[in-house]
Amino acid sequence: MNKFIIFIFLIIVNLSKTVFASPMVNARTAIVVDFHSNKVLYEYEPDIQIYPASMTKIMTTIIAFDLINKNRISLDDKFVVTENAWRLSQSGYSSMFIMVNDEVSVEDLLMGIIVASGNDACVALAEGIAGSEEAFAEMMNEKAAEIGMTATNFSNSSGINDPENYSTVRDIALMSKYLIEKYPDYYPWYGEKTFTWDRTGGDPIKQGNRNPLLYKGIGVDGIKTGYLAVEKYSLASTMQKETRRIIAVGSGFPNKSFRSSESLKLLNWGFRNTNTYEISKKDQTFFELDTWLGTKNKIQAITKEDYYLTLNKKDIRHLKVFLEYDGPIKTPIQKNQKIAKLIVTNKDEIIKTLPLYASEKIPKVNFFKSLIISLNYLIWGDV
């Protein structure tokens, strides 16, 4: 058998007029991450401690979405608003404006959190789920540990100023990816521009989403703003163009205007200077290989994981992807048998090797047919 190396060429376009210098950002800390490859595209002091303010609410909704998916609560469940939750609507904080003893559905509370950034809605949801905000914060920290947020501690559900409620932009980016990836049915709520609460004892209250980038029509569909006097302005944002998505998180912006413009600068810089390639999709990308003495002459190979690669556009010319296998592959071949390797190199350095597996079972032909094929090969050099 011979060792086959088959090169796969990627189409590379739009390399001109590209600027590769890192952006200058007016923030205390920032990070930009490619959603699919997890590649950090830009970072500035990404691991210094921040007070996440209302970006905390991302985790609050994650807990609720997780319980909904597990059928432990439903969107139609109603929680009674306590005086503790109601007080936050009377204290000058962002609010949904719920009233004491209101029975509010989980869906309305979630919309009040996501769109109106209601601190009162956070407490009502936390108490309804866990009995107390303290117990809910424990759930938040358990989920943070599960996600891999190693520099984060949550002490409340809303992000109201507390020295024990802290994180980093790196952890917030990780949490944001988890939200988008794990809850595709609910994440679109973060792109809603308005929410109207039909409150008790008054006219309905319509509030707009506090994320200014949602209104620009540029592909931004989330995620969450934040503000605390000690932290200044913060924003976890994300932009999608076609199938690619980038996440940016910044904190310590000096004002609202910079929060918007600098976050947009980070997102645009990521798209302008880098490309992400879908090298292989688990059980969906097929690579055709030759077989020997089988009931089929070809077999399709697959990977058991998704693999995306993000590169600076100036480095794309050095990218090579190829298959390596000893072939034609002798039959019988069992389904899920490892039969080849997918190798990705950049500047002649191997950056990823993915095993390839048979997508189906291929039996060996019977003895007489095997003999005929072998003789034909000896005589004509062709199977």
- Nearest Cα residue to 347 out of 323, 307, 312, 306: 312
Q: Distances in Å between the alpha carbon of 88 and those of 118, 119, 211?
A: 9, 6, 21
Pairing of strands 307-312, 274-280: antiparallel
Distance CA 262, CA 25 (A): 6
Residues 6+ apart with CB under 8 A from 297: 290, 291, 383
Please answer whether residues 214 and 194 qualify as being in contact, where contact means their C-beta atoms are separated by less than 8 angstroms.
no
Distance CA 213, CA 232 (A): 18
Pairing of strands 287-292, 274-280: unpaired
- Nearest Cα residue to 231 out of 178, 284, 165: 165
Pairing of strands 287-292, 329-330: parallel
- Nearest Cα residue to 58 out of 151, 143, 128: 143
Task: Give the length of the chain.
Answer: 383
Which residues are catalytically annotated? 54, 57, 117
Distance CA 363, CA 174 (A): 45
At 349, which helix (H) or strand (E)? Answer: strand 349-358
Q: Is 27 helix (H, G, I), strand (E, B) or coil?
A: coil
Q: How many CA atoms lie within 13 A of 60 on its CB side?
A: 35
* Omega of the bond leading into 328 within 30 degrees of 0 (cis): yes
